[in-house]
C-alpha cells in the first residue's frame, strides 16, 4: 500500500497526537515532580516489527534514542508469541534501558482483538530506586539501587504482587515510586486504546504499511540531508571534569555519502565513580546531535537512526561495562553533542552551536516540613549556546530538555525556601551572537531536618566554549554557605544552611567585535551585559554608544 504525501502527513500527525496523549496520561497520573513538573520522560509507539514509529512531541532525546534498543532486549526475553493482552514488561537495567537505573522502561504490547500489531513504551525517571540514591558517589553498579532485568510486571492485567513488594521495600518513597510506575502502565494502556480507535475510524486492520511509509520517508529525508554535507573525516577532543582529575572525550566523525560514522576512540577509560556512560546512551546522544544538524523538524522514529553508526572502545567512559556505576551518566553523556559539534564545526560552520551551560541536577533526599519523605530533583539550567544568526536563549537546557520545577511546588515538597532566582549578567559568552545567560539560585533549608544534597553537574573547570571566534560562557559554581563544593559531591545541608548555584552561561558564536552596536546596546539596557562587560568582552565602551547605554 502506498500513501500520497497529504494522506501520509495526516496519519503521521494523528500518530504523534496519540503519542502526545500517552505523555499527557503519564504526566497527569504521576506522583513525582520529576514527571509531573519536570517532564523527565519519553513515550514511544512501535510497529509490530519493533521499530519506533513515533514519539510524543515532548520527549527526552536520550530516552527516545534508547527506546528501540530497549524494546529489542525486552522481546528477546519475552518474545511476541508469548505476550497476551494486558501484559506489561519493564526494566531499569542501565545497559538495556537508558544508561542508569533511575529510569523505568515500561512496555505494553498493542493487540487488535488477538493479533499483536505494535507496542507502546513509557519511560520516566523514578523518584528513587534505593542504594546510595541518585548521585555520582557510587563505586560499583551494585551500590546504586535495585536493578531490574526485564520482568513481567503485569500479566493479563494483574500486577505481580511479589515484584510490587520487592520494589516497595527497596526505595525511600514507595508511594511515589510505585505511583509513577503505575502511571507508566496506565499511559501505555491509553496508547494501545487510541491506536485501535484510529484503526476503527479509518477501517485499517494493519498499521504496518503506514509504519513502513513513515519510517522510509524519515530515512530518505535524513540520508538526503547527509548526502548534501561534505564527505570527509574530522576529529575533536575535549577535557571535562571528573571526580578526581579531568577526563578526555574524543571523537572522529566521518561523512561518507549518505551515512555518518562516529567513533569515540581516544576517550578516557571508565572510572570508579557514577558518571560512566553505557554505549546505549552514547548512541542516543549521537543520534540527537546528527539529527539537529540535518532534519530537526521531522519527528523521531526508526528512520531517524538508520544512517548513523556509532562505536566506542569497550570499557571507555562512553562505553562503560558492568559493574561500572552509571547513576550520573548524563554528566558525561551530555558532552557527546558539543563534542560532535566541535568535530564538525569546520565542515558545517553555519549549522553547529556553541557549547551550552547544560543542566545542573541536584538530587535532594530527606524529610520536608511535614515529615514526609523527600526524594526529588532540582533542575537548574545554564545558558544555551549561540548559533549563526541567533543569540543563545537564557537558562535553557541542552542537549536534554527537562524543565524546572516551579518554585512554589518545589518549596512545598522539599522543605527548602528559594530565596532568589535571577539572571547572571555577563555570564553569556561574547560573540557576534551572544551566548545565553546563566542564573544565580539561592536555596535555604528552612525545614527541621538535614537534607542530603547530591550534585550532578559539570562546566566548573571547563566552561562552555564558543565557536568560530566566540568566547566561552562563565563557568558554573556551587556553594554551601559561601564555600565552593565539588559539582559531583554528596553533602548534608543542615537546617539554616544555604545552597547557591551559579549556572554557566552559553558560549558565543563568531568574533565579538562583529556584534552589532544596536544589539550590544539592547543587551546593556536589559541588564544582560554590564558596561564593564561590554568594554572587557567586546572591546567597546558603552559610553561611546550614546544615552541608550545608560
Q: How far apart are CA 444 and CA 487, in angstroms?
A: 18
Q: What is the pTM of this model?
A: 0.96
Is 105 part of any domain?
A: yes
Is 259 part of any domain?
A: no
pLDDT at position 2 is 83
Is 266 part of any domain?
A: no
pLDDT at position 404 is 87
pLDDT of 190 > 60? The answer is: yes
Indicate the pLDDT class of residue 302, thresholds 50, 70 and 90: very high
pLDDT of 193 > 50? The answer is: yes
> How much is the average pLDDT of 204-233?
96
Task: List CB contacts of 427: < 8 A, sequence separation 6 or more.
Answer: 357, 383, 437, 438, 473, 474, 503, 504, 505
Is 367 part of any domain?
A: yes
CA angle 415, 417, 421 (to 5 degrees): 140
Find the domain containing 50 and state its range. Answer: 5-219
Q: How far apart are CA 73 and CA 97, in angstroms?
A: 9
**Domain C-terminal end among 173, 200, 219:** 219
1-5, 88-92, 106-110: least confident range: 1-5
pLDDT tens digits for range 427-446:
999 999 999 999 999 999 99
> How much is the average pLDDT of 104-125?
97
Sign of the CA dihedral running 97, 53, 26, 109: negative
How deeply is 456 buried, as exposed, middle or buried, from its count of CB atoms within 10 A (0-12, 13-18, 19+)? buried
**Domain C-terminal end among 219, 235, 261:** 219
Phi and psi (nearest 5°) for 422?
-145, 150
Comparing CA positions, the residue from 65, 91, 63 lying closest to residue 77 is: 91
> How much is the average pLDDT of 81-105?
98
Is 534 part of any domain?
A: no
pLDDT of 301 > 70? The answer is: yes
pLDDT at position 148 is 98
Is 299 part of any domain?
A: no
pLDDT at position 549 is 47
In the 8-state DSSP scheme, what is residue 405?
P
What is the Cα Rg of the chain in Å? 23
3-state secondary structure of 532: helix
Is 525 part of any domain?
A: no
pLDDT at position 543 is 63
Q: Are residues 197 and 52 in the same domain?
A: yes
pLDDT of 62 > 80? The answer is: yes
> How much is the average pLDDT of 75-87?
98
pLDDT at position 542 is 59
CA angle 287, 401, 488 (to 5 degrees): 95
Helices 517-526 + 531-538 axis angle, to 10: 150
On average, the pLDDT of the chain sits at 96
Task: List CB contacts of 157: < 8 A, sequence separation 6 or more.
Answer: 85, 86
Q: How many domains does the chain have?
A: 2
pLDDT of 304 > 70? The answer is: yes
Indicate the pLDDT class of residue 545, thresholds 50, 70 and 90: low
Indicate the pLDDT class of residue 448, thresholds 50, 70 and 90: confident
Largest CA distance in the chain: 77
**Domain C-terminal end among 219, 253, 286:** 219
pLDDT at position 550 is 45
pLDDT tens digits for range 332-369:
999 999 999 999 999 999 999 999 999 999 999 999 99
Is 289 part of any domain?
A: no
pLDDT at position 546 is 59
Indicate the pLDDT class of residue 544, thresholds 50, 70 and 90: low
Amino acid at each position: 500500500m502506498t500513501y500520497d504525501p497529504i494522506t501520509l502527513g495526516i496519519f503521521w500527525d494523528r500518530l504523534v497526537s496519540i503519542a502526545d496523549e500517552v505523555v499527557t496520561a503519564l504526566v497527569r497520573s504521576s506522583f513525582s515532580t520529576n514527571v509531573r513538573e519536570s517532564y523527565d520522560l519519553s513515550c514511544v509507539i512501535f510497529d509490530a516489527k519493533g521499530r519506533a514509529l513515533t514519539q510524543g512531541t515532548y520527549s527526552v532525546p536520550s530516552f527516545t534514542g534508547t527506546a528501540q534498543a530497549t524494546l529489542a532486549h525486552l522481546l528477546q526475553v519475552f518474545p511476541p508469541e508469548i505476550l497476551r493482552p494486558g501484559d506489561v514488561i519493564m526494566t531499569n537495567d542501565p545497559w538495556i534501558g537508558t544508561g542508569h537505573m533511575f529510569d523505568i522502561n515500561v512496555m505494553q504490547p498493542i493487540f487488535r482483538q488477538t493479533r499483536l500489531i505494535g507496542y507502546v513504551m513509557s519511560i520516566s525517571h523514578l523518584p528513587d530506586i534505593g542504594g546510595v540514591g541518585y548521585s555520582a558517589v557510587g563505586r560499583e553498579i551494585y551500590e546504586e539501587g535495585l536493578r531490574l532485568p526485564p520482568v513481567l510486571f503485569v500479566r493479563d492485567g494483574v500486577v505481580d504482587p511479589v515484584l510490587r513488594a520487592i520494589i516497595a521495600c527497596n526505595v525511600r518513597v514507595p508511594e511515589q515510586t510505585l505511583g509513577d510506575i503505575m502511571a507508566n502502565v496506565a499511559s501505555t494502556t491509553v496508547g494501545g486504546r487510541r491506536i485501535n480507535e484510529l484503526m476503527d475510524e479509518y477501517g485499517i486492520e494493519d498499521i504496518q504499511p503506514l509504519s513502513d511509509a513513515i519510517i522510509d520517508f524519515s530515512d530518505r529525508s535524513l540520508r538526503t540531508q547527509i548526502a548534501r554535507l561534505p564527505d570527509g573525516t574530522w576529529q575533536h577532543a575535549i577535557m571535562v571534569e571528573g571526580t578526581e582529575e579531568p577526563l578526555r572525550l574524543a571523537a572522529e566523525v566521518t561523512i561518507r555519502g549518505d551515512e555518518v560514522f562516529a567513533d569515540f576512540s581516544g576517550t578516557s577509560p571508565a572510572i570508579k565513580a557514577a558518571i560512566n556512560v553505557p554505549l546505549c546512551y552514547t548512541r542516543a546522544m549521537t543520534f540527537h546531535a546528527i539529527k539537529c544538524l540535518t532534519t530537526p523538524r521531522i519527528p523521531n522514529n526508526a528512520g531517524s537512526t538508520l544512517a548513523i553508526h556509532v562505536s566506542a572502545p569497550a570499557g571507555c567512559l562512553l562505553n562503560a561495562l558492568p559493574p561500572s556505576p552509571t547513576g550520573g551518566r548524563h554528566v558525561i553523556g551530555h558532552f557527546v553533542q558539543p563534542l560532535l559539534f566541535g568535530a564538525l564545526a569546520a565542515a558545517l560552520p553555519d549549522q553547529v552551536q556553541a557549547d551550552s551551560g547544560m543542566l545542573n541536577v541536584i538530587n535532594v533526599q530527606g524529610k520536608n516540613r511535614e515529615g514526609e519523605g523527600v526524594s526529588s530533583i532540582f533542575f537548574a539550567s545554564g545558558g544555551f549556546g549561540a548559533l549563526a544568526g541567533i543569540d543563545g536563549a537564557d537558562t535553557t537546557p541542552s542537549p536534554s530538555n527537562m524543565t524546572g520545577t516551579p518554585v512554589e511546588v518545589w518549596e512545598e515538597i522539599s522543605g527548602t525556601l528559594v530565596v532568589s532566582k535571577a539572571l547572571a549578567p555577563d555570564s553569556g559568552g561574547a560573540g557576534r551572537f551572544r551566548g545565553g545567560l546563566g542564573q544565580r539560585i539561592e536555596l535555604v533549608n528552612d525545614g527541621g531536618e538535614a537534607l542530603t544534597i547530591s550534585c550532578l553537574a559539570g562546566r566548573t573547570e571547563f566552561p562552555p566554549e564558543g565557536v568560530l571566534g566566540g568566547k566561552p560562557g562563565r563557568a558554573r559554581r556551587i556553594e554551601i554557605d559561601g564555600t565552593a563544593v565539588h559539582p559531583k559531591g554528596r553533602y548534608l545541608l543542615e537546617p539554616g544552611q544555604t545552597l547557591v548555584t551559579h549556572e554557566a552561561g552559553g558560549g558565543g558564536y563568531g568574533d565579538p567585535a562583529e556584534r552589532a552596536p544596536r544589539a550590544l546596546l539592547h543587551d546593556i539596557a536589559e541588564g544582560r551585559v554590564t558596561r564593564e562587560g561590554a568594554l572587557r568582552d567586546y572591546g567597546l565602551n558603552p559610553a561611546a554608544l550614546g544615552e541608550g547605554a545608560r
